[in-house]
A and B are shown apart, each in its own frame.
Chain A
Amino acid sequence: MTRIRLFEERTLEVLMQGKLASTMCHVSIGQEAVAAGVCMAMQPQDYLTSTHRGHGHLIARGGDLARMMAELMGKATGYCKGRGGSMHITDMALGHLGANGIVGGHIGIAVGAGLWSSLSQNRAVTMCLFGDGAVTEGVFHEAMNMAAVFRLPVVFVCENNQYAMSLPWSKSTPAVDFKTRAAAYALPGVDVDGQDVAAVYQAACAAADRARRGDGPTLIGAHTYRFFGHSRGDPSAYRDPEEEKRWRARDPLPLFKARALAEGWLDEDAIVRIETEARQAIDAAVAAAEAAPPAADSVAFEDVYAPSGAQQLIDKAVSA
């Protein structure tokens, strides 16, 4: 959580300095407990699908901060060769199937990953993270239904940050809890405090266990809040400052710190060490990204198609 918070705070600084390669950048400050709780429940073989507000998901999954920052800056060493930017950061080696710029666009992909896990018995669970805006897209219904009827090993996690851009959750849907919604698909639905990383972790573990046992998907609603606007140009004029204050008082980082100290999970030294190490890692990532060469012009024109397997076979047959 600390790494996510510091990485995104630094990202905003770098953005203000005009060093990002794109104008598109959505930070998840305030929502870190969801990313951390969900990704901690994952095993190495598992898959993750992510959103336009996805920096935290990849960091929580173990993403390389230097390659992430390089991607944001449009550098050759970035995760997507400097071509994807903030909204499309991906590390396939971590089973990360992509941060997706289309709200809800990846929910069907998560069903497909789950379908292949079910067919190939590869023991992987797919964690599908999406925002509250995705819930009102048609594909959400299709995907939930198909995953449920095929009992696929997918955990659907709505990171409900209360606003689909400017529209509040209560005006997006009359069914505001996820237990009710899940019942339509005969699935367990769980509503958790998205500011409490332990609660998110426990719900995600239970859902992942259930999926791994072959009992099918779970729908989790992790209720959280984005402390900043939708994107950099958004002053959040549509939000009540009192509401913002209430949510900011439940910042997941201090909440966890207090709990960890009270429960004896961590002592003050350990917390200082975590913060120092995170800061150093981010300093190093920014320095490495700044020193990296920019993406070459040719990068714009490459990778439109993967090498064609069939064509290679035909060429081989012709030359033989």
Chain B
Amino acid sequence: MTTLMFRDALRQALREEMQRDPRVFVLGEDIGRYGGAYAVTKGLLEEFGPRRVIDTPMSEGTIVGAAVGAAMVGGRPVAEIMYVDFMAYAMDQLVNQAAKIHYMFGGQINVPMVLRTQQGTGRGAGAQHSQSLEAWFTHVPGLKVIAPAIPADAKGLLKSAIRDGNPIVFLEHKGLYALKGEVPDEEYLTPIGVARVARAGDDLTLISYSRGVHVALEAADELARAGIQAEVLDLRTLKPLDIDALIASVRRTRRVVIVHEATLTGGLGAEIAARLSEALFGRLLAPVQRVAAFDVPLPANSRLEKLIVPDAARVVQAARAVLNFSPQETIS
């Protein structure tokens, strides 16, 4: 094991896959000479040259479109979109093209591409540089969506994504790039579509992904001080959802809180809540709770930004509400 920062683990994944497979190349804005806005691709240009580390003009639609086209004819592109917010420019290429091509062309063509982008708050980056838009992507059949929380998964899942053979949206969190964690020294792949138990517990289940996992873990620590053992599940892959793992945990704990930094309405938490309610309605001891960002855009003022997204205190509060729930309260 080696301790690596999240961004270094991602870079290792890119390097290893580029060394392994000459078809793998990266393209995006400021990823070469600049090294990437968040320094993930730093050094790759020097190692692999400008034919495999391509600085593109500012053209998000065509960065994604070019990745789709190259993937269709034999390449293994990894495109970087600097901020997920800029995906609004590229949604046709991802949603109408990449996600549909294998299906609508009768399975004749695959689109083995990875779209890396980063999202989330923590830098006071404002309304157009801080959103969490995973639900845009999880809504679309044909896409797979990954959002790792720790360096080991960042590396193992990015390697799996590059080899997968389908269009994959790989969501990094800007607040996690400097996070350190243990990464195995030997080569490994982390399977897509499998959740991880970040902390075991029997009293309730906290479900999250990306940076939300760390918020949930902080809340679990606080709950533990009060003698409550929360299980924390890290989805790792948002689509396909490892619904079996979620059901297994919640069947046991019978109480659940879902945590995400995306806004509440229409968020992934709503989908998970519905699935768990469908599967476990009679088994649940309390309604499924969601802790999400409030339904407002994000201000550039860091202090105000913090008021909007979930923190451990809000998760603890939701956990307590779930633990103390009494069915009589709803009878009026």
Q: Residues of A at under 8 Å CB distance from B?
A: 47, 49, 78-84, 88, 90-92, 97-98, 100-102, 105-117, 119-120, 122, 124, 126, 138-139, 142-143, 145-146, 149, 302-311, 313-314
In the complex, what residue of chain B is closest to A300 when comparing beta carbons? B103
Q: What are 8 contact pairs spanning A and B, CB under 8 A?
A: A81-B107, A115-B69, A116-B70, A143-B62, A303-B107, A304-B142, A306-B102, A306-B107
Q: Check: B141 CB closer than 8 A to any chain A CB.
A: yes
Listed from nearest, the 7 A-B pairs whose CB atoms lie closest are: A108-B65, A112-B69, A80-B106, A109-B69, A142-B59, A112-B66, A142-B62
Check if B108 sits within 8 Å of A108, measured CB to CB: no
Tell me how far the C-beta of A22 lies from the nearest C-beta in chain B, rounded to whole angstroms.
12
Chain A residues in 8 Å Cβ range of B25: 119
Task: Out of A113, A138, A302, A308, name the residue touching B192 (CB < 8 Å).
Answer: A308
Given A146-B56, A146-B57, A311-B164, the answer on whether A111 and B66 have CB atoms closer than 8 Å is yes
Tell me the residues in window 52-66 of chain B with beta carbons closer than 8 Å to chain A beta carbons. Answer: 52, 54, 56-57, 59, 61-62, 64-66
Tell me how far the C-beta of B155 lies from the nearest C-beta in chain A, rounded to whole angstroms.
13
Check if B65 sits within 8 Å of A310, measured CB to CB: no
Q: Check: B166 CB closer than 8 A to any chain A CB.
A: yes
Q: Check: B267 CB closer than 8 A to any chain A CB.
A: no
Tell me how far the C-beta of B100 lies from the nearest C-beta in chain A, rounded to whole angstroms.
8
Tally of A-B Cβ pairs under 8 angstroms: 180
Chain B residues in 8 Å Cβ range of A102: 92, 96-97
Which of B69, B75, B164, B189: most chain A Cβ within 10 A? B69
Check if A303 sits within 8 Å of B106, measured CB to CB: yes
Chain B residues in 8 Å Cβ range of A313: 163, 189
Tell me how far the C-beta of A120 lies from the nearest C-beta in chain B, rounded to whole angstroms.
7
Check if B61 sits within 8 Å of A108, measured CB to CB: yes
Tell me how far the C-beta of B247 lies from the nearest C-beta in chain A, rounded to whole angstroms.
21
Given A111-B65, A119-B51, the answer on whether A88 and B70 have CB atoms closer than 8 Å is no
Residue interface bits B17-46, CB-to-A below 8 A is 1, else 0: 000000101010000000000000000000
Q: Check: B119 CB closer than 8 A to any chain A CB.
A: no
In the complex, what residue of chain B is closest to A305 when comparing beta carbons? B166
Q: Check: B160 CB closer than 8 A to any chain A CB.
A: yes
Tell me how far the C-beta of A116 lies from the nearest C-beta in chain B, rounded to whole angstroms.
4
Check if A119 sits within 8 Å of B75, measured CB to CB: yes
Check if A146 sits within 8 Å of B70, measured CB to CB: no
A101 to B103, CA, bound (A): 14
Check if B66 sits within 8 Å of A304, measured CB to CB: no
Q: Check: B110 CB closer than 8 A to any chain A CB.
A: yes
Check if B75 sits within 8 Å of A92, measured CB to CB: no
Given A112-B68, A120-B74, A145-B59, the answer on whether A88 and B105 have CB atoms closer than 8 Å is yes
In the complex, what residue of chain A is closest to B143 when comparing beta carbons? A305
Q: Check: B71 CB closer than 8 A to any chain A CB.
A: yes
Chain B residues in 8 Å Cβ range of A115: 27, 54, 66, 69-70, 75
Task: Out of A92, A111, A120, name the residue touching B62 (CB < 8 Å).
Answer: A111
